[in-house]
Amino acid sequence: MGVFVAQVRPRWSDMDAYGHVNHANTVTLLEEARVALVFTEAARQGLVDMSRGMVVVKLAVDYRIPLVFDGGSVDIEMSVRDLKASSFMLDYAVRTGGNGSSTVAVTAETLICAYDVEETRPRRLTDAERDFLASWHSGGARG
C-alpha cells in the first residue's frame, strides 16, 4: 500500500490573524488524519485495540508554504517508517490544491508508542499491529 490519504477540511475558525491556519490547528488537522489511519482504518481491518493505547511521544512540523483556509479539504498523506518493537514514526505530507496540481504545504512526523493504559507504561506492538503498520511503510526517510 505505502501511503494512506485522509481528506481533512480546515475550518474558518482555524485561521490566525494573518489568514493562515494556526500552528496549533494544523497539529489538530494532523491528529484528525492520524485517527483516520491508526484508529478508523485499523478498526476497519479488525484491529480495535490500537485505539485503546497509542501515544504521541514526539511531534515535528515543517511549514513549506502557508496553509490557507479556502473552504476546501486538504489531502494528508501518511506513511510509516522506523517500525520498532513498541514504536513507529508516522510521516505526513499536507497537500493543498488538488486537480493534479497539488502542492505540499506542510510536512510533519510523529513518533508514536504503543501504550498500555491500565498498566500506564509502553507495550510491545502485536504481530497484527506490526503487519498493519508495515503495509503503510514508506521505505525511507521523510523528505
Q: What is the domain-level CATH number for residue 13?
A: 3.10.129.10
Per-residue pLDDT at 139: 61
- Tens of pLDDT, residue by residue, the chain (143 residues): 589 999 998 888 888 888 888 889 999 999 999 999 999 999 999 998 887 789 999 999 999 998 887 778 899 999 999 999 999 999 999 998 766 668 999 999 999 999 998 999 999 999 999 999 999 997 654 44
Residue 32 · residue 100 · CB < 8 Å = no
State which residues form the domain around 73.
Answer: 4-134
pTM above 0.85, yes or no: yes
| Domain count for the chain | 1
Answer yes or no: are the C-beta atoms of 103 and 95 closer than 8 Å: yes
Cα Rg for the chain, rounded, in angstroms?
A: 15
